[in-house]
């Protein structure tokens, strides 16, 4: 019974963190709101692996995972960006804020119907897009023009519903002993995140944005090769 419920516990934990992220964003605690999204990403990476390891995959878990991802990586990052950057912009800020979770919902719906190719996702996963957006909001002190960040948000929204292929690291085989250490690694990351709230979210932005750009670059090179 516990084994069947364990993956869903990780998924519900992800959903809980997404809700906490929204509350923190409303209270202008953007850094901690971004940390909630990052920790949620780690939980999201665990639920599917644990389900496959324990052979407890189910349609219920699949649907719960999608609903949780929409809140944690669609709505929460959009709220973080709106409150930290777009609240003084005007109606265009409302529109862009709404577009992101809408594209995230379309991305999740497409994934549930068509998971993608073996070893690849079609379109930027909402987990990565949400992580990028939540951490990108923390760079608003360096990027003074909110329309630059707005363009970045629209670009991320497009990548989610695009046909760009991305490596599906979730499907990599990880030995069980390594997977069992994941909770301890998660605790270490949580402690580090709250000890260094200014640094960790911004550091996480770098590998996430490189992942997003990798898919774009590879698709562009492939089109050039086919056209030549």
Nearest 5°: the CA angle 10, 101, 129 is: 65
How much is the pLDDT for 143?
Answer: 77
d(CA 185, CA 189): 6
185 part of a folded domain: yes
Residue 174 domain flag: yes
Q: Is residue 228 part of a domain?
A: no
Instruction: Report yes or no on 226 lying in a domain.
Output: no
**What is d(CA 16, CA 36) in angstroms, rounded to the nearest whole number?**
9
128 against 203, higher pLDDT: 128
Cβ pair 43, 10 in contact under 8 A? yes
Which pLDDT score, from 0 to 100, does residue 119 have? 79
Q: What is the pLDDT of residue 10?
A: 81
What pLDDT, in 10s, does the model give residues 135-189?
988 887 777 788 999 999 999 999 999 999 998 865 555 555 555 555 666 666 6
* Residue 192 CB coordination number (10 Å): 13
- Which of 102, 118, 109 minimizes the C-alpha distance to 172? 118
* CATH code of 99's domain: 1.20.120.1760
As a 3-state breakdown, the chain gives helix, strand, coil percent values, each rounded to 5, of 80, 5, 15
Q: Is 227 inside a domain boundary?
A: no
In a domain, 153, yes or no: yes
Least Cα distance to 44 among 176, 182, 184, 216 occurs for 182
Comparing C-alpha atoms, which of 25, 119, 124 is closest to residue 69? 124
| Tokens linked to 105 | 């919902």
Residues spanned by the domain of 41: 2-221
Q: Is the pLDDT assigned to residue 2 strictly greater than 60?
A: no
Q: In the chain, how many domains are there?
A: 1
pTM: 0.85
* CA geometry: angle 153, 161, 36, nearest 5 deg: 50
11 lies in some domain = yes
Both tokens assigned to 31: 């850094």
Mean confidence (pLDDT) of the chain? 83
Q: Is the pLDDT of residue 104 over 70?
A: yes
Classify residue 48: in a domain, yes or no.
Answer: yes
- Residue-wise pLDDT for 66-88, tens only, equals 999 999 999 999 999 999 888 88
């Amino acid at each position: 019974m516990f084994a069947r419920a364990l993956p869903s516990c990780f998924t519900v934990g992800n959903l809980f963190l997404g809700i906490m992220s929204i509350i923190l964003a409303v209270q202008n605690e953007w850094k901690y709101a971004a940390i909630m999204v990052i920790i949620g990403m780690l939980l999201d990476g665990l639920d599917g692996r644990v389900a496959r390891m324990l052979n407890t995959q189910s349609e219920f878990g699949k649907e719960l995972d999608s609903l949780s991802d929409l809140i944690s990586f669609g709505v929460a990052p959009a709220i973080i960006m709106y409150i930290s950057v777009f609240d003084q912009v005007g109606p265009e800020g409302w529109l862009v804020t709404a577009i992101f979770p809408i594209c995230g919902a379309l991305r999740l719906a497409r994934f549930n119907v068509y998971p993608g190719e073996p070893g690849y996702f079609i379109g930027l996963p909402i987990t990565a897009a949400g992580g990028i957006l939540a951490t990108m909001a923390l760079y608003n002190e360096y990027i003074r023009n909110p329309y630059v960040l707005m363009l970045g948000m629209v670009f991320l929204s497009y990548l989610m519903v695009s046909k760009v292929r991305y490596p599906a690291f979730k499907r990599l085989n990880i030995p069980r002993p390594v997977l069992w250490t994941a909770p301890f690694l998660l605790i270490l990351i949580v402690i580090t995140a709250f000890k260094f709230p200014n640094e960790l979210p911004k550091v996480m932005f770098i590998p996430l944005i490189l992942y997003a750009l990798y898919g774009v670059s590879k698709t562009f090179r492939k089109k050039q090769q086919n056209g030549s």
